[in-house]
Chain A
């Protein structure tokens, strides 16, 4: 008998973004904000990392929120409550350090919002003042607005095209807050590498400690393959065991951006084959 991890609930947040609750009591018991899991749907599947967006220790449930970008996330997105996933490993990575801060800016770019959400929630519960800035392509791709409202003292939502009435990037809003004289003792920035790099450039100038979360390509997630390596402060670090959180000002973003597309060609091929199959059915 093969053990499966059951999908307890599925909810489409936007056409591309799905939330799932997975029955994984042991993972739920130990999960902390900042940590992630690796799933594998079936025997031929790839190992795919996803952040633990939320957890319920009593119910034994782990929440994941993912964007359908390639074959594996599309396959997962096509599954329904009641079905099972073959592998679900975690909690992996180091929990975020959230002690001893008073005023924090949490900046989420797109799906990064889902990764930043558990940290914001935890900070709020520690009575920290949280200014959250989350940005999306357009109005229809906004996720977790309600949840982030609850997890922050003030929430700013931006869209690239202004379709929600607040046009601009998250960095624009953040710059504005800084120029208004807002002071933060920590910035947590999670989103596309380009966005995190831009935030770090701002905070370096303003001398605000900044933590970012790396979403490197991974295989094992236990420090065994070195696939997820990046350069931090001139040294090689493994995102899966030394991170995924890193001090943003020390990260070599250009190298990380370059490494992100190692398998772009293969990923495209994999997706095309997958969609072609689906078309036939």
Chain B
């Protein structure tokens, strides 16, 4: 798959997820995005952490909505009014609205995260348009340094501990932080020097990696962009609208064409080889 096609797909999924507060569409986008993520994630990447983060973000969004919005007709329980801000009725409507918010957040995170989980960050950087190529090289180099900084932080902490360092006060932490930062700066300087020595900064730059664009990439990009375009158009003309469960929860309306747009985001599952 081409990173640019994936970028287009990710952009389209984000657009649809954020274009409406209707939970049906959001759930469909989440479903497609999750599918793409699970099927196409790079070998060796773990998505447990990501899913956990999404779950936490969802629960937090749900809790905030439930605890602070006291509108809606069907009251589940009452929090005593004596408790400031939280006091008041907790309603079915607020729970539904909280869940809707959580769905939107989850769909948006998954659609965005697919970028870094399906392709290497470096492939993405390479896919940047030509004018950004130099910043891209710098960014890629910075990415290369990150694991080294983590390793050196552990090494330095161990070394100082063996020299008798014991963190008792905040004032003790610079004994670790200072050498970690200094070492990182020195590493960056060395790397900068070696890049300079290899001619970095010349004006007439050519490119080594040309990612191939296959018909499947056209299909994915076409489906995704068409889906997003049509969905936004439906939103603008009012066929798709925002949906709120207040004052009384109702079944969200579904437009067939808009639902098809959401399903079209599953195009990578059919077009790209697994």
Asked if chains A and B come from one complex, the reply is no
A residues within 8 Å of B by Cβ?
none
